[in-house]
Amino acid sequence: MKSEVDLIVNLILGGLCLSGRKILVGKMGWAWWVVSDVSRLSLEIMTTRPSCNDVETLEGVRVSISSVCQIRVINNKELLDLALEQLLGKTKNEIIEMFEKTLDGHLRSILGTMKVEELYRDREEFSKRVREVAAPDVARMGIEILSFTIIDLIDHDEYLVSLGRTNVAMVKQIADIGVTEADKDSKIKIAQLEKYENEIICVSDTKKKEYKSAFDEISANLNVDIKKYEAEAKLAGTIESTKQYQLIKEEEMKAELLKNQKKTEIENIEIERVKLSLESTINKKTEIEAEVMNLIAENDKECYLFKTKGEIESVRLKGLANADALKIIGTAEAEAMQIKAVAFNQYGKMAIYDMILKKLPLIMYNITKPLTRTKDIIMLNDNKLSSQVTSLISGIQPSIDSLTGIDLSRVIKKLTGTSEENSKYEKISN
């Protein structure tokens, strides 16, 4: 199994097991070993450099040309068989050599029909004629011309140099003739212009004298009128300047008065602005500080409540965890509680209250213990400090009642003998 990629290659398969031959272009095919014959022909582009030396042109001038030509094997299906018959088995160099020899004859025949000037001025036309003349012949050989370009053209007889010198001499001669004629024309033109200039000068001098006389007359009349108008204007100007001076002074006085009024208004506005700015700054600062302290106090309160709730929840969970243990010792504790109940009944309610009051300092100590780490306490108020202190103190009792479940005021009243229940209790005890 063989395949060719990138460069398109013809595979011609033939042998005992195949009928005839098979042409593959850029494809794969099967070839039997020994009994099959495989031949390849490259379809890639080939670069040749055809040249002709000492070839006489139409005028007998000897020239040499060098060129570059791009060719390839024809890939047309109709002409591919012809190309295979002509080129199969030849190497790339053999194909190039055969093409250059064929093209050499065409180049010589074409050069013999053209002039050197045509070759030099229009190389594209020469290349076009080469392609038109040589293409049919090389096509019958199975070769296609893709491009043909002349690189160099050499004139051995220096015909082009001589032609150039002749052309240069002719151009110089024409230029000299042109310069001579131009000088002649310019001299004639200069003479005409000088004549016209003299005529214009004469006419202008005459006009100048006429205009000068008229100007002098008009100028004299104008000088008289100007002096008259100057005298009148001077008198009117003195009167008008006096009036304008008075008006200016009045306007200056009005402007000064208005300036002083505006200055006073601006000073009053500035005083009011400074006053309002100070009041706004002080009030705003006080409000901000009060808000900050309120937020701090509220935050401390919430922290304390969360902490207390957490401790209570911790105790509850610990109680649930120890439930099994409590069940085991429940009987003993029940008996102990009965004994304590008998003892408390013997003490009475007042004795119990007395025990609670003795523990109140410890309770207050634990409540205020977080405040021992507080350095400063700043109280913000709106001149209502006494009412805030009273409100703060009055809030202590409900807090103790909610934490202990005991009405503290009621206990104190009982201890001091100010309640009806205490008096009844004393009567019963007596």
In a 13 Å sphere around the CA of 299, the CA atoms on its Cβ side amount to: 6
**Using an 8 Å Cβ cutoff, are 114 and 57 in contact?**
yes
Residue 138: what pLDDT?
A: 83
Smallest CA-to-CA distance from 381 within 297, 261, 256 is with: 297
CA–CA separation, 159 and 60 (whole Å):
10
Domain identity same for 24 and 65: no
* Token duo for residue 335: 């008996």
DSSP state of 373: G
Same domain, 13 and 110: no
What's the gap between Cα 336 and its chain centre? 86
Q: Are residues 53 and 30 in the same domain?
A: no
H helices present in 63-158, as ranges: 77-87, 92-111, 116-121, 123-140
CA distance 2 to 28: 6
Residues 415 and 380 in one domain: yes
Q: Where residue 130 falls among pLDDT bands split at 50, 70, 90? A: confident
Which neighbouring-strand residues pair with 2?
Answer: 29
Mapped onto helix, strand or coil, the DSSP state of residue 152 is strand
| Residue at 134: amino acid letter | A
- Check residue 175 and give its pLDDT: 65
Lowest-confidence segment of 129-133, 200-204, 359-363, 392-396 by average pLDDT: 392-396
In a domain, 271, yes or no: no
Q: Are residues 36 and 50 located together in one domain of the fold? A: no
What's the pLDDT band for 428 if we cut at 50, 70, 90? very low
Give the pLDDT mean for 148-155.
82
Q: Is the pLDDT of residue 267 over 50?
A: yes
Given 141, 157, 173, which residue is the final one in a domain?
A: 157
Phi, psi angles (nearest 5°) of residue 46: -115, 135
Whether 22 and 108 map to the same domain: the answer is no
What pTM value is reported for the model? Answer: 0.35
Residue 103 placed within a domain: yes
Q: Annotate 238-282 with DSSP letters as a single string.
A: HHHHHHHHHHHHHHHHHHHHHHHHHHHHHHHHHHHHHHHHHHHHH
pLDDT at 10: 41
> Given the structure tokens 């008006």, which residue do they identify?
247
Domain end point (choices 139, 157, 175): 157
What is the residue-averaged pLDDT of the chain? 71
Any domain includes 100: yes
What is the three-class DSSP state of 4? coil
Question: Does the pLDDT at position 430 exceed 50?
Answer: no
Q: Give the tens place of pLDDT for each residue, 365-421.
A: 777 776 677 666 666 655 555 565 566 666 666 666 666 666 666 766 665 554 444
pLDDT at 325: 58
How many structural domains does the chain have? 3
Q: Which of 348, 365, 358, 322 is nearest to 425 (CA)?
A: 348
> Range of 402's domain?
347-429
Stretch 309-335: mean pLDDT: 65
Are 20 and 79 members of one domain? no
Q: Quickly state the pLDDT bin for 266 (edges 50, 70, 90).
A: confident
| Top-ranked range on mean pLDDT: pick from 248-257, 298-307, 366-375, 416-425 | 248-257
Q: Report d(CA 288, CA 283) in Å as an integer.
A: 9
Can you tell me the mean pLDDT for 165-187?
A: 69
pLDDT of the residue at 249: 74
3-class DSSP assignment, residue 23: strand
* DSSP bridge partners of 68: 149
| Mean pLDDT of the 316-325 span | 63
- 14/100 same-domain check: no
* CATH number for 68: 3.30.479.30
The answer on pLDDT for 424 being more than 80 is no
Taking the C-alpha atoms of residue 281 and residue 291, their distance in angstroms, rounded to an integer, is 15
Q: For residue 130, is it within any domain? A: yes
Say if 262 falls within a structural domain: no
> Residue 155: in which H helix or E strand, if any?
strand 143-155
Same domain, 53 and 108: yes
94 and 133 co-located in one domain: yes
Q: What single-letter amino acid sits at 46?
A: M
Does residue 246 belong to any structural domain of this protein? no
Amino acid at 13: L
Q: Where a domain ends, among 157, 192, 220?
A: 157
Output the six-digit token pair for 197.
Answer: 């200039």
Is residue 426 over pLDDT 50? no
Per-residue pLDDT averaged across 225-235, rounded? 75
> Are residues 60 and 25 both part of a single domain?
no
pLDDT class of 331 with cuts at 50, 70, 90:
low
17-72 confidence digits (pLDDT tens): 445 666 666 666 676 776 666 677 777 888 889 888 887 778 777 888 888 888 88
- Token pair in block for residue 300: 């401390």
With respect to residue 289, please indicate whether it lies within any of the assigned structural domains: no
More confident of the two residues 57 and 332: 57
Q: Which token pair is 409?
A: 């005021």
One domain, residues 62 and 144: yes
